[in-house]
Amino acid sequence: MPYIPSGLSILISDFCQESFLSGGRELCRYLSYRGQKSVLLQVLSEEELRPDITGAHLLLDSEECYDPVRISIDDRILKAYEREMDSFLYEIKKIAKDTGIRYYLCDTGIPFDRLIFDKLRDIYDV
């Protein structure tokens, strides 16, 4: 990364890339080292956090990187998904905590401008 002067860095993402789990800690440490007051805003929908679907479905990749996948969802699969999601969220929070960066889980159901203004005081006081 090029030199970054002191300031405020706000990373907004779903962080659903393996690259963040493997390289996110290094990025956050670098930002802290460079004197950045940093915030991770993880943006996920309620459906991603706690899906409420069962039966057969065709999953489409919204970023069009993968072919559609047919799946069958039952209560056992939903419980496994929730365990994996909880583990994933824990890892992101741990990266933030271990590197001294603030973390917020943001719901896509809340308008972005309202989310930013509601959290602005916390973000500014980082």
Closest CA to 123 of 12, 4, 34, 3: 12
60: containing domain = 7-124
The verdict on residue 27 lying in a domain is yes
Domain membership of residue 2 (yes or no) is no
Task: With respect to residue 51, please indicate whether it lies within any of the assigned structural domains.
Answer: yes
Q: Could you tell me the CA-to-CA distances from 24 to 15, 16, 60, 117, 123 in Å, in that order?
A: 9, 11, 27, 26, 19
Is residue 23 in some structural domain? yes
Q: What is the pLDDT of residue 120?
A: 63
What is the model's pTM? 0.79
Q: What is the pLDDT of residue 126?
A: 47
Nearest 10 degrees: CA dihedral of 111, 92, 17, 9? 60
pLDDT on residue 90: 95
* Domain total of the chain: 1
pLDDT tens string 61-110: 877 778 889 989 999 999 999 999 999 999 999 999 999 999 999 888 88
Domain-located, residue 96: yes
Residue 92 covered by a domain = yes
Residue 18 included in any domain: yes
Q: Which helix (H) or strand (E) holds 82?
A: helix 75-98
pLDDT tens for 96-126 read 999 999 999 988 888 877 777 776 666 665 4
CATH assignment of the domain containing 76 = 3.40.50
Residue 1: inside a domain, yes or no? Answer: no
